[in-house]
Structure 1
Amino acid sequence: MDYDYQLLHVVALLTLIAFGGTSWTIEACSPNELEALMSFKNGIQKDTSGRVAKWIGQSCCDWEGIVCENATSRVTQINLPGFISTDTDLFQTQMKGLISPSITLLTFLEIIDLGGLVGLSGTIPQTIGLHLPKLQKLYLYGNNLTGPIPESIGELPNLQELALQENRLSGLIPVSLGSLKSLKRLLLYSNQFSGTIPDSLGNLMNLVELDVHDNALIGNIPNSVGEMQALEKLDLSNNLLSGKIPSSLTNLTVISVLYLNTNYLEGTVPFPSRSGEMSSLGFLRLHNNLLVGNIPSNIGYLVSLQRVSLSNNKLEGALPSSLGNLVALTELYLSGNFLSDQIPKSVGQLSQLIMLNISRNLIEGPLPQEMSSLQNLQTLDLSFNHLNLSAIPKWIENMSSLSNIYFAGCGIQGQIPDFFQRTNSPIQELDLSVNFLSGNIPSWIGSLNQLYKLNLSRNSLYSDIPDSFRNLQDLGILDLHSNRLAGTIASAFDIQQGVLGGSLKFVDLSANNFSSGIEEIGGGQCGIQFLNLSHNLLKGRLPNSIGKQNSLKSLDLSFNELGSNLPEVLGNLTSLERLKLQQNHFTGKIPNEFLKLLKLKELNLSNNLLEGEIPERKPLIDFPESSYSGNKGLCGKPLSPCKV
């Protein structure tokens, strides 16, 4: 203990004696610690929480965010997290400035928590591992830090948690991290780290969680990862890793979460060869890779699996019947592979299954009757397979929890079956697109009062939109494009009226034979963002009420028979990013109000009867000649200059 520190305590003791009691104390920091904290304070330019501004005087142990050891009054914690919780709220504060290297002078520190301080920048002090032997937790996540992880960080013998995620850190992952024998959590995700995953990480026998997703890591997954026997969560997704998944991963008998998605991994998926290995594995996510080969038949040994995602790889062959052994499974994602043959009957044993997605494969029909036993299933997606169903199986009606049904591109023929109106669970999403359905759109669809998404596009449906659609108060997505529908579009736009409050966000009625109802598209203000009525037979003029649809981002009315002047109120649609009005009969000038469409990225007014000078300002002058061609009366940039 230095001389000044001793002197302060002597003065405090004499004061206590003089006043004859112990009710009044003085606790001052050592000069070194006081200097370190004041240097940290001076590096902060802005602190919206006001905590650092209150650091005044000598008694730093009383400062907000500072914790000291009672016996020695030495600083053990800097607790200034970005998220502050009150009795009624949780809010995030902001701190701009640099991390002062002087914090390494606080040699008794056990916890540094500066996580979530948006705007805190600079680098991690290079000597952080040389002066903080007691440090157990280092939280610097969610800041704006740059530069590498110092090699010296491997000199922290008591470090248990290292959280550096969500910064702009770069460089290599230090080999020295493998020396942190006490480390339980290593979180480096959402940075800019490059290079390989060091083999030395296999030395971290106490590591429970390793997460390095969303970086630029390359090379193979090291075999040493399989030596981390305490590992429960491994996330290596969204990198540039290559090679095969090492067989050593099967050594992780207590791992509960495995993420390897969105890399450039190649090779086959190794699984344990006997029952009991990896028996605690709860989450297996290998999606968005280049994995090849079959799904191993011994996947059924992983009896604790709850969520499995192997989507978007190059897996092939039949689904193993051992899938039926995964009785705890709640989610199974196998989409975007080359899986073939039929769905095994054993899938019906997955009584806890909530989500089943096998879309975009080569699966063949028929579907096994045993699937009707999946009474907890909420979402079933079998789209774009080789099922060649003559009809949708009637047992769908008896699945008590099924509310999201996707049978797009399954070769379904005939009319839309009426048993959908009798399902035990209210249908929320129904996708029967890209099939061979014919006949009318049945009016009973209007009784599906919880329907949010309806996609019947690319079929051979005819007649008009039933008036009962007005009852679909929760409808947000309506896609009927590429059918043979006719009549008026009015029923579709009545959906957005009254009590709805603008639930309808997406409407695509393009490539049909609608001829009337254009005046309805501006009726009442709503939250519609995407509207496509192109390639129809619509006539008349655009109503001025269209200017109320200020949520519109994409409006396509091309290839119709619309006429008259372009409404000036289109300029009120300031959220528009895409406006397509080509191949109509619009006349008159381009309104100057179009200059208010500053977010416009795509514009096509070609092949109309427009005339006059194109308003010569952004954004209109930024579009190519093709946006205006085919209007004989138009002139000005980017077309030919107007004649004086």
Structure 2
Amino acid sequence: MRRTINLLLALISISIFSFFTNDALQPQHPHAHGGGCIPAERAALLSFKKGITSDSANLLISWDGQDCCRWRGIGCNNRTGHVVKLHLRSTIVEDNPWGYYDPCEHDNSLFGEISPSLLSLKHLEHLDLSMNCLPGPNSKILNLMGSMTNLRYLDLSGIPFAGRVPSQLGNLSKLQYLDLAQTGNSMMYSMDITWLAKLPFLQFLSMSGVQLSGIADWPHTLNMIPPLRVIHLSSCSLDSANQSLLHLNLTKLEKLDLSSNDFEHSLTYGWFWKATTLKYLDLGDNRLFGQLPDTLGNMTYLQVLDISRNENTNMMMTGYYKNLCSLEILDLSVNGINGDIAVLMKSLPQCTSIQTALLELYHHRLGI
């Protein structure tokens, strides 16, 4: 079941963020300005290469010669020749569809540290070093990245950083995509994420695995970023999701993952029920209790609703949900629900447009 949800989630992601693979971020060759790359930028890339102690996957084997714009993972502006893209995501991701891996346990990862020389790439717009073992001796490089103000896309997910997420990342005011997600036992944390509100163009945010315990106003901060379309805050030790938002500004939000947190309150008062544009909502592996609210019936775009593993014995769908004609997956498993299955089935939409409906009820005690 989890794999089915992950596959559908991936399809939704592709449909939402196809613009991140547009021509502006594709590798280009600067023939218009006479060929070759800018010497200072080539030197900066070679300095980064020196910080790599192991490259078993040969990601950097092409990093030789004068024209760095032809090196693997490098994209240059076709007109100016400036390096605008550095994409060296580890290949281990392609071999593991489940998403559970430690880059420092895979030979195909890059090992070493991220050289501060990358700060010399003043025109860099796209930086992806994700799923590599590049923590270095400390995480100060993250602080320094706050000066790379032309970045629009930053993916450092899976890199086992330690320490506080620096507020200097709030200086990257052009960011549209930010992924700092951690895997395994994360050593990254933050006690204040208000700096996110300084990213007015942000559409994708993932900080899954980053410890955010004690940050009570996190929904209010996110509500100050109207362009957000995807939010991943799984396994963040968030304490609550029952904050009151008088007006929801997240009118473009399509995916919200709040699974595996420390929520222990009524489902009814979750702020997320106001997000009627959602297609995917994951609240699994929390301690939410009570019945689903009638406002769920307004979420007509919802395709996936996962409230599994909450051990909620009182959860039932007793409201009017006939308009949920986009719903494809409803996972209420591992909740030990007591009740009449006929009541639940009558609450579900009977729409001819539903192509696939997966109703997960195992580990429930429903009357038949």
Helix, strand or coil: the match of 1:547? helix
The 3 A distance-change label for structure 1 pair 516 and 331 is farther
Helix, strand or coil: the match of 2:58? strand
Match in the other structure for 2:193:
442
Deviation at 1:513, TM superposition (A): 0.8
Tell me, yes or no, if structure 1 residue 326 matches structure 2 residue 75: no
Aligned-partner residue type, residue 353 of structure 1: V
The 3 A distance-change label for structure 1 pair 438 and 540 is same
Deviation at 1:374, TM superposition (A): 1.1
CA distance in 2, matches of 1:382, 1:372: 14
CA distance in 2, matches of 1:422, 1:608: 48
Match in the other structure for 1:207:
none
CA distance in 2, matches of 1:447, 1:400: 12
Q: Which segment is superposed worse, 446-455 or 374-383?
A: 446-455
Helix, strand or coil: the match of 2:178? strand
The 3 A distance-change label for structure 1 pair 330 and 524 is farther
CA distance in 1, matches of 2:326, 2:115: 48
The 3 A distance-change label for structure 1 pair 392 and 430 is farther
Contact 1:462 1:485 in 2 (8 A): yes
CA distance in 2, matches of 1:448, 1:330: 32
CA distance in 1, matches of 2:272, 2:207: 24
Tell me, yes or no, if structure 1 residue 355 matches structure 2 residue 105: no
CA distance in 1, matches of 2:82, 2:190: 37
Deviation at 1:599, TM superposition (A): 2.9
Aligned-partner residue type, residue 67 of structure 2: L
Deviation at 1:427, TM superposition (A): 2.3
Match in the other structure for 2:226:
473
CA distance in 1, matches of 2:241, 2:29: 52
Contact 1:458 1:483 in 2 (8 A): yes
CA distance in 2, matches of 1:436, 1:508: 21
Contact 2:317 2:347 in 1 (8 A): no
The 3 A distance-change label for structure 1 pair 282 and 488 is closer
Match in the other structure for 1:573:
324
Deviations 1:473-521 (A, max 9, x none): 1111110112322123537xx49x5454x21111011011112362235
Aligned-partner residue type, residue 339 of structure 2: T
The 3 A distance-change label for structure 1 pair 580 and 331 is farther
Match in the other structure for 2:264:
515
Helix, strand or coil: the match of 1:590? helix
Match in the other structure for 1:602:
358
Q: Which has the higher contact order (CA 8 A, sep 6+)?
A: 2
The 3 A distance-change label for structure 1 pair 564 and 593 is closer
Deviation at 1:446, TM superposition (A): 2.9
CA distance in 2, matches of 1:352, 1:421: 24
Deviation at 1:388, TM superposition (A): 2.1
1:484-499 equivalent positions in 2, closer than 5 A? 484-490=237-243, 494=245, 497-499=247-249
Contact 1:479 1:508 in 2 (8 A): yes
Match in the other structure for 1:296:
none
Match in the other structure for 2:147:
398
Taking structure 2 as the reference length, the TM-score comes to 0.68
Helix, strand or coil: the match of 2:359? strand
Contact 1:529 1:551 in 2 (8 A): yes
Deviation at 1:409, TM superposition (A): 1.3
Contact 1:518 1:542 in 2 (8 A): yes
Aligned-partner residue type, residue 333 of structure 1: G
The 3 A distance-change label for structure 1 pair 567 and 600 is farther
The 3 A distance-change label for structure 1 pair 322 and 516 is same
1:84-95 equivalent positions in 2, closer than 5 A? none
The 3 A distance-change label for structure 1 pair 318 and 379 is closer
CA distance in 2, matches of 1:446, 1:561: 34
Helix, strand or coil: the match of 1:576? coil
Match in the other structure for 2:333:
582
Deviation at 1:430, TM superposition (A): 1.2
Helix, strand or coil: the match of 1:414? strand
Contact 2:278 2:302 in 1 (8 A): yes
Match in the other structure for 1:89:
none
CA distance in 1, matches of 2:180, 2:169: 12
Q: Greater strand share, 1 or 2?
A: 1
The 3 A distance-change label for structure 1 pair 564 and 442 is closer
Percent of matched pairs sharing the same residue:
23
Tell me, yes or no, if structure 1 residue 462 matches structure 2 residue 217: no
Aligned to 1:414, which of 153, 158, 163? 163
Match in the other structure for 1:428:
176
Deviation at 1:566, TM superposition (A): 1.6
Contact 1:571 1:594 in 2 (8 A): yes
Aligned-partner residue type, residue 82 of structure 2: Q
Contiguous gaps of at least 5 residues in structure 2: 1-27, 38-55, 75-79, 91-107
Aligned-partner residue type, residue 414 of structure 1: G
Aligned-partner residue type, residue 162 of structure 2: Q
The 3 A distance-change label for structure 1 pair 351 and 410 is farther
CA distance in 2, matches of 1:507, 1:392: 30
The 3 A distance-change label for structure 1 pair 540 and 330 is farther
The 3 A distance-change label for structure 1 pair 582 and 404 is same
Contact 1:433 1:458 in 2 (8 A): yes
Match in the other structure for 1:550:
300
CA distance in 1, matches of 2:211, 2:327: 32
Helix, strand or coil: the match of 1:354? strand
Deviation at 1:428, TM superposition (A): 1.9
CA distance in 2, matches of 1:462, 1:570: 34
Contiguous gaps of at least 5 residues in structure 1: 1-280, 284-301, 305-313, 335-349, 612-633, 635-644
Aligned to 2:117, which of 357, 361, 370? 370
CA distance in 1, matches of 2:71, 2:323: 45
CA distance in 1, matches of 2:147, 2:321: 49
CA distance in 1, matches of 2:171, 2:272: 35
1:136-285 equivalent positions in 2, closer than 5 A? 282=29
Match in the other structure for 2:280:
530
Contact 2:318 2:347 in 1 (8 A): no
Deviations 1:244-265 (A, max 9, x none): xxxxxxxxxxxxxxxxxxxxxx
Contact 1:354 1:379 in 2 (8 A): yes
Contact 2:234 2:261 in 1 (8 A): yes
CA distance in 2, matches of 1:438, 1:498: 27
Larger Rg: 1
Deviation at 1:560, TM superposition (A): 1.3
Deviations 1:552-610 (A, max 9, x none): 01000111144253234233211111110122235333232425153333210233343
Deviations 1:206-225 (A, max 9, x none): xxxxxxxxxxxxxxxxxxxx
Contact 1:383 1:410 in 2 (8 A): yes
Deviations 1:63-92 (A, max 9, x none): xxxxxxxxxxxxxxxxxxxxxxxxxxxxxx
